[in-house]
Structure 1
Amino acid sequence: MLDRRQMVFIDGQNIFYSAKDYFGEEVRIDLPRLIDHFAIGDLKETYFFDSHLQDQDKGDFYQFLKKNGFVVESSTTRYRDHGPEAVGIDVGISTEMVGRAHMDEYDEALLYSADTDFIPAMEHVQEQVGKDVAVVQFEDDVRERMEDAADRFIALDDEVEDFVYDFPER
């Protein structure tokens, strides 16, 4: 497995909201440690996709990620009738995952999300390009369809103390 080329695709909003559901609002994830913990192959690239409110400054956080080797893609959240809505995250992740697979830049994608909107991209990467996709997420947040679509599922719950700061008792 160590010789397999891996590429990481993180749905920032999905992973952070899942962690907050699991631990509460004050949870903090050490993303570099999280990636190092589960990327057991030859890690080629780590993409972090996020959205932010127009008046929200995430510059320091994004700079931290970039200094730690992450490629950061962020868009401004739009307001709709039902409230704030992230725009372009799913399309961005799907495009990079499929494009990089077609360029033969990885053997396995590690997708940090429970969003079933990624299933068509996952299936394309698997069936048309012959790549593997692992879904990495908290077990309670993953729907059976998403887990079934993945070549393997990695539950964050099992080793959470390795990448969460001062996590509270559950």
Structure 2
Amino acid sequence: MKHTEQRVGVFVDVQNMYYSAKNLYGSKVNFANILESGVASRKLIRAIAYVIRANNPEEQKFFEALSLQGFEVKMKNLQIFGSGMKKGDWDVGIAMDTIRMSNKLDVIILVSGDGDYEPLIEYLQNHGHYVEVMAF
């Protein structure tokens, strides 16, 4: 149950949400709306957007827009292997941040459709935290 005194942390897997919106709906994500509807009149303690930097010209403007919307932006570089395979994810980083910050939060909002977070959600719930998931 939501109430105005709850301390909320929002953790956004930007790549997961971006590609989910693009592939499922052919559209873009409004991250400001996600933050506003997730927090919903409660006390926002921290909002972090986790991004992968691929060094394309438009991404810096996007990262700045996230920051202006109230997100702390954490970046990792896209890894490109000799085989041409590309990898960039924040799963472990997001998990570690939520666990580290959990003692300052009543509600943890995880914005991702990645099923790999299920053990994290279970851990947080077992330690007395209310976890909300926002995804497509």
Q: TM class, shorter-chain normalised?
A: 0.7 to 0.9
Alignment correspondent of 2:17: 15
SS in 2 for 1:114: coil
SS in 1 for 2:104: coil
Unaligned residue ranges in structure 1 (runs of 5+): 139-170
Offset, 1:82? 6.4
How big is each residue's C-alpha offset from its partner over 1:9-68, in whole Å with a ceiling of 9 and x where there is no partner?
0001101111112221xx222211221023222221111001122x32422211121122
Relative to structure 1, the CA distance from residue 107 to residue 79 in structure 2 (aligned partners, 3 Å threshold; closer, same or farther) is same
Query: Cα offset for 1:98?
Result: 0.5
Letter in 2 for 1:64: A
State the alpha-carbon separation in 1 of the partners of residues 84 and 6 from structure 2. Answer: 43
Equivalenced residues, count: 131
* RMSD over equivalenced CA pairs, Å: 1.6
How many Å separate the matches in 2 of 1:48 and 1:86? Answer: 14
* Equivalent in the alignment of 1:132: 130
Residue by residue over 1:71-123, the C-alpha shift from the partner in whole angstroms, topping out at 9 and shown as x without a partner, is 10111111244621114x1111101100001xx21111111111122122222
1:112 and 1:16 mapped to 2: Cα distance? 11
TM-score in terms of structure 2 length: 0.87
Unaligned segments of structure 2, at least 5 residues:
none
**Residue 33 (1) aligns with residue 28 (2):** no
Instruction: Give TM-score, length-normalised by structure 1.
Output: 0.71
User: Would you identify which runs of 4 or more consecutive aligned residues in structure 1 move more than 6 Å?
Assistant: none
Q: Any residues of structure 2 matched to 1:54-93 within 5 Å, and which?
A: 55-57=55-57, 58-80=59-81, 81=83, 83-87=85-89, 89-93=90-94
Q: Percent identity?
A: 25
Q: State whether residues 99 and 124 of structure 2, in contact with CA within 8 Å, keep that contact through their aligned partners in structure 1.
A: yes
Determine the C-alpha separation between the residues in 2 that align with 1:16 and 1:76.
17
CA distance in 2, matches of 1:82, 1:12: 23
Query: What amino acid does structure 1 have at the position aligned with 2:36?
Result: D
- Paired with 1:115 and 1:9, the residues of 2 have a C-alpha distance of 13
Residues 1:105 and 2:104 aligned together: yes
State how far apart, in whole Å, the 2-side matches of 1:114 and 1:56 are: 25
Structure 1 Cα separation of the partners of residues 7 and 36 of structure 2: 14
SS, match of residue 28 in structure 1:
coil
How far apart in 2 are the matches of 1:119 and 1:20? 23
